[in-house]
């Protein structure tokens, strides 16, 4: 498991006072309001920034960092990832996982047939969908429901699934 969680990516600047537009990777954009400091990751370098103000516009989070006061300074942050130490959020409830921890896990059926690796997970509103990609690049979409996802074992790096009718 990675020590840091990516919360979003800075994709543009907003206005002239140093604000940036962020594409959020979280299910709850208000998390940014509860975090006083974050790290901006560029390549493998981490730089700590204090969040001064958080706003929202068109499915994006608008952030003003302390000390970033011009459009030119904000522009240098473009394409950086916003990361935080995972410990800031505390323990997750049983059966709840960070998507980042599930990406790359091996997926097997209950009869131990290898299906591939988790390549992506997206939400449809009613449930998550796990995108499993095999060695040939063929994708299988699995609904993230209890009837299909039988066991997630982060320590062994695998997920056991039940392929119900139609999958």
- Residue 17 is part of a domain; what is its CATH number? 2.40.30.60
pLDDT for position 167: 64
92 within a domain of the structure (yes/no): no
Long-range pairs of 126-130 with CB within 8 A, sequence gap ≥ 24? 130/102, 130/159
pLDDT for position 1: 64
Instruction: Please tell me whether residues 147 and 106 are part of one structural domain.
Output: yes
What are the pLDDT tens digits along the chain (167 aa)? 678 899 999 999 999 999 999 999 887 889 899 999 999 999 889 999 999 999 999 889 999 999 999 999 999 999 999 999 988 888 888 888 888 899 999 999 999 999 999 999 988 878 899 999 999 999 999 999 999 999 999 999 999 999 988 76
pLDDT for position 95: 84
Instruction: Please tell me whether residues 105 and 146 are part of one structural domain.
Output: yes
pLDDT for position 89: 81
pLDDT for position 93: 86
**Cα 105 to the chain's mean position, in Å?**
15
- Least Cα distance to 54 among 91, 5, 8, 123 occurs for 8
Question: What residue numbers bound the domain in which 124 lies?
Answer: 99-161
pLDDT for position 9: 96
Instruction: Please tell me whether residues 106 and 146 are part of one structural domain.
Output: yes
pTM of the model: 0.75
Secondary structure element (H or E) that encloses residue 21, with its range: strand 19-24
94 within a domain of the structure (yes/no): no
Angle formed at CA 42 by CA 37 and CA 43, multiple of 5 degrees: 140
61 within a domain of the structure (yes/no): yes
């Amino acid at each position: 498991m990675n020590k840091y969680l990516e919360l979003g990516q800075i994709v543009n600047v907003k206005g002239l006072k140093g604000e940036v537009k962020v594409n959020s990777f979280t299910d709850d954009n208000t998390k940014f309001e509860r975090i006083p400091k974050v790290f901006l990751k560029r390549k493998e370098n981490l730089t700590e920034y204090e969040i001064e103000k958080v706003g929202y516009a068109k499915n994006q989070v608008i952030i003003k960092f302390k000390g970033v006061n011009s459009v030119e300074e904000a522009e240098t942050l473009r394409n950086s990832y916003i990361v935080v130490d995972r410990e800031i959020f505390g323990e997750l409830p049983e059966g709840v996982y960070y998507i980042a921890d599930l990406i790359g896990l091996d997926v097997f059926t209950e009869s131990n047939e290898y299906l591939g690796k988790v390549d992506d997970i997206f939400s449809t509103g009613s449930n998550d969908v796990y995108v499993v990609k095999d060695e040939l690049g063929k994708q299988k979409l699995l609904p993230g429901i209890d009837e299909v996802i039988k066991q997630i074992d982060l320590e062994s790096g695998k997920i056991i699934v039940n392929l119900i009718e139609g999958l």
